[in-house]
Amino acid sequence: MTRVPSTGRIEIRDLRAFGLHGVLPHERERAQPFSVDLDAYFDVSPAAASDALADTVDYGALVQQVAEVVCGTSFSLLEALAAAVARRVLDDDRVARVEVVVRKMRPPVDVDVGSVGVRVVDVRRT
């Protein structure tokens, strides 16, 4: 019998990290809070069969990678930040598709909003 891949995903919600992202000069002088949601889609059947961490995408490693991008780089636009996170996640050959939401928790607008954000969806190119 041929094994059929079983697509699943790892979900990370509301990862909080401080970064220097924004168009305005004051946004790039002092770190501000960002929130990231991430869905990484991959074939879960090897991990489901083996129950071994080596056979899955490690969510702990994903959390660390996302935090490194948010904290360790600087972008003017949320679109560029979200795309950089997506590219980093797709560095793992097992990840076929990724959805990233990046939210600026204290946006520089004159209206009271909880956050503003961008969603990026990217897929592995073969």
CATH number for the domain that contains residue 107: 3.30.1130.10
Task: Output the CA torsion 49→42→61→81 (10° steps).
Answer: -170
Active site residue 123: no
In a domain, 108, yes or no: yes
Q: What is the pTM of this model?
A: 0.92
For the segment 75-98, what is each residue's pLDDT rounded down to a tens digit?
A: 999 999 999 999 999 999 999 999
Phi and psi torsions of 24, nearest 5°: -75, 145
Look up the domain containing 98 and give its range: 7-123
In a domain, 1, yes or no: no
- Out of 70, 95, 99, 104, pick the active-site residue: 104
Domain count, the chain: 1
- What does the chain come to in residues? 126
For the segment 102-118, what is each residue's pLDDT rounded down to a tens digit?
A: 999 999 999 999 999 99
Q: Report the side by side order of strands in the sheet with 7-19.
A: 7-19, 32-43, 95-104, 116-123
